[in-house]
Amino acid sequence: MVRYREIKTSDGRKIKLPVWKNNAFPRISGFSDALLHKITIHARASDRPQLRGGQVIKLQREFEQFEAAIKKYLLEVTGPYQQQAGQMQMKLDTNNGLGKRRAQRILQELQQRTVFEHRLAEAVLQEGCASANRSLIKYGKAAFFRVVQDEIPSIRRQFYPLEELEKEETE
């Protein structure tokens, strides 16, 4: 599930960084769901058998909310950087000499900050995805008293901040 950690930016603003937090005791909930027959393994003719249950769907939905929170965080943090970069680009076009060098230096710093924020978001997303998948594995193994490695669904990311940054740079 999504939790927020408050951080301060270099310009003194307080921003909430989304962080993934696993549900407590996934093994107990997996065991209780198995006893109450809330979880099953469905097999389709064309697809491999997969674990199905409300807890799996809930975890996937929460991870989608986590990705949306990361997108919102990136827009909130990099928005001012992009505005300042636009202003510096206008100064670069109009000035020459000392003002131009200073604007280039500031523009380069803003680009570095933007790259840093995207890398931070990428790291947080990777850690959250790995943690959510570990939680699903614990839940599935507790629900069935056998090895269910192939049947456990994995959470896949839909948002990749570094690829989005590359798209913005090429435009």
| Phi, psi (rounded to 5 degrees) for 19 | -130, 140
**26-35 vs 98-143: helix axis angle to the nearest 10?**
40
Q: What is the model's pLDDT at position 65?
A: 93
Q: What is the model's pLDDT at position 66?
A: 93
Residue type, 70: I
Tell me the pTM.
0.77
Q: What is the model's pLDDT at position 101?
A: 77
Task: Report yes or no: 107 and 83 within 8 Å, Cβ to Cβ.
Answer: no
Beta-bridged to residue 41, according to DSSP, are 51
Q: pLDDT tens digits, the chain, 171 residues: what are they? A: 888 888 887 777 788 888 888 877 777 777 777 767 777 776 665 576 677 777 888 888 899 999 999 999 988 888 888 888 887 777 777 766 667 777 788 888 888 888 888 899 999 999 999 998 888 888 877 777 666 666 777 788 888 888 888 887 776
Q: What is the model's pLDDT at position 64?
A: 92
Q: In terms of residues, how long is the chain?
A: 171
The SS3 call for residue 16 is strand
Cα angle 84, 90, 92; round to 5: 100
